[in-house]
Amino acid sequence: MLEDKNPQRTTLENLGEFGLIKHLTQNFKLNHDSSVLGIGDDAAVLDFKGKKTIITTDMLVEGIHFDLSYMPLKHLGYKSVIVNLSDIYAMNANATQITVSIAVSNRFPLEALEEFYEGVAMACKMYNVDLVGGDTTSSTTGMLISITAIGIAEENEIVPRSGSKPNDLLVVSGDLGGAYLGLQVLEREKEVFKVNPNNQPDLEPYSYIVERQLKPEARKDIVALLQKLDVKPTAMIDISDGLSSEILHLCEQSSTGCNLFEDKIPLDPTVMSTSEEFKMDVTTIALSGGEDYELLFTIDQSDFPKIKGNPNLTVIGHITDKGEGAHLITRGDTKIPVSAQGWNSFNP
């Protein structure tokens, strides 16, 4: 829908599984000393020389997590890597390797997989991670993608969800709600396209939020920024499912409560105007729309001067005792409990 499909179609059968893997992965080079052995053997070998290894996996299923009618495969490859790297950065670690496993129907042409791997390669380059393995198989029910990301950190650098304490400040990077609204725009254009395939959508006014949906970034830069500012968060989580559910995870793991201030939630102007257009409440979108891949973390109050005024970081609230619960303080100064309405793949 968004771009011309590659007219060339080479069937996968002609290549065979090993030929296919070789073809798709031949241009990936290993850049990290910790990548001792990569693709081509029974398993990869990594050596972190005494540092801690951080590992995370995510699975993406066609029709549940992505829709190929408006998700170009190159973007899908990129985003699939990003969502995993985001989890590594959320531990305050550095991502170093990934493995990529895919299941696709035989009807998929080689060119489609090449496009997907172009996106994977772009993410590997951008975030300096090595592709060290994966698995390739066929599927009769759509495309499946499973990526594992591996990272490294000194033991004392790791930031789990469980470390926040009362009076810590609650901080978020970037702005929220864009990815969800970008999805709404794409869904709307898909419906228009179904009725009139000649209608080329004008997505220009929505470019920021559509990009947030189709080509998100992981906040490696925030991890570096915090290091530079000499701030170690007390707890951290990435925002994949929506601010409210992530706040609740963080509070639950830390055995704390929190006060979150509605008027502090960072919003891009496009998010505000588009939510009006869709007649949706912008706070609900920021709280419940997922896939922003920003970092949510808590810091000790004494670190506030170090982050104050930084355009990438916004203090949105503070941590309280567990007994006080988790609350949103609205613009009208009413206090309402934060409820988890994060995106849930079992109840979409």
Residue list, annotated binding site: 42, 56-58, 65, 87, 117, 134-135, 161, 238, 240-241, 291, 343
- Among candidate residues 86, 95, 114, 81, the one with its CA nearest the CA of residue 12: 114
Q: Helices 269-277 and 178-195 meet at what angle, rounded to 10?
A: 40
Using CB under 5 A as the binding rule, whether residue 135 contacts Mg ion is answered as yes
Cα 200 from Cα 2, distance rounded (Å): 8
Question: Judged by CB, which is closer to ligand ADP: 69, or 137?
Answer: 137
- Among candidate residues 75, 97, 92, 96, the one with its CA nearest the CA of residue 145: 75
Stretch that binds Mg ion, among 9-17, 130-138, 211-219, 231-239 (CB under 5 A): 130-138
The least distance separating ligand ADP from the CB of residue 18, rounded to whole angstroms, comes to: 6
Cα angle at 185 between 182 and 190, to 5 degrees?
A: 125
Using CB under 5 A as the binding rule, whether residue 17 contacts Mg ion is answered as no
Cα 93 versus chain centre, distance: 15
The least distance separating ligand ADP from the CB of residue 27, rounded to whole angstroms, comes to: 12
Question: Judged by CB, which is closer to ligand ADP: 134, or 290?
Answer: 134
100 binds, among Mg ion, ligand ADP, none (CB under 5 to 8 A by kind): ligand ADP
Residue 189's identity, in one-letter code, is E
Q: Residue with the closest Cβ to Mg ion?
A: 135
The least distance separating ligand ADP from the CB of residue 49, rounded to whole angstroms, comes to: 22
317 class by beta-carbon count within 10 Å (0-12 exposed, 13-18 middle, 19+ buried): buried
133 binds, among Mg ion, ligand ADP, none (CB under 5 to 8 A by kind): ligand ADP
Residue 296's identity, in one-letter code, is L
Cα 289 from Cα 178, distance rounded (Å): 8
42 binds, among ligand ADP, Mg ion, none (CB under 5 to 8 A by kind): ligand ADP
Question: Judged by CB, which is closer to Mg ion: 18, or 346?
Answer: 18
Give contact residues for ligand ADP (rule: CB under 6 A).
Answer: 21, 25, 39-42, 100-102, 131, 133-136
Question: Judged by CB, which is closer to Mg ion: 43, or 195?
Answer: 43
3 binds, among ligand ADP, Mg ion, none (CB under 5 to 8 A by kind): none
Question: Judged by CB, which is closer to ligand ADP: 125, or 335?
Answer: 125
CB atoms within 10 A of CB 144: 17
CB atoms within 10 A of CB 111: 15
184 binds, among ligand ADP, Mg ion, none (CB under 5 to 8 A by kind): none
The binding site for substrate comprises: 65, 291, 343
Question: Judged by CB, which is closer to ligand ADP: 53, or 101?
Answer: 101
The binding site for Mg(2+) comprises: 42, 56-58, 87, 135, 238, 241
165: three-class secondary structure by DSSP: coil
Stretch that binds Mg ion, among 67-75, 129-137, 177-185, 223-231 (CB under 5 A): 129-137
Cα 7 from Cα 80, distance rounded (Å): 25
251 binds, among ligand ADP, Mg ion, none (CB under 5 to 8 A by kind): none
Question: Which segments within 105-168 are labelled E, that is strand?
Answer: 130-138, 144-153
Question: Judged by CB, which is closer to ligand ADP: 28, or 180?
Answer: 28
Pair 251, 164: CB distance under 8 Å: yes
154 binds, among ligand ADP, Mg ion, none (CB under 5 to 8 A by kind): none
Tell me the DSSP string of 188-220: HHHHHHHH-TT-----GGGHHHHHHHHS----H
What does R_g of the chain's alpha carbons equal in angstroms? 21
Residue ranges that bind Mg ion, judged by CB under 5 A:
135
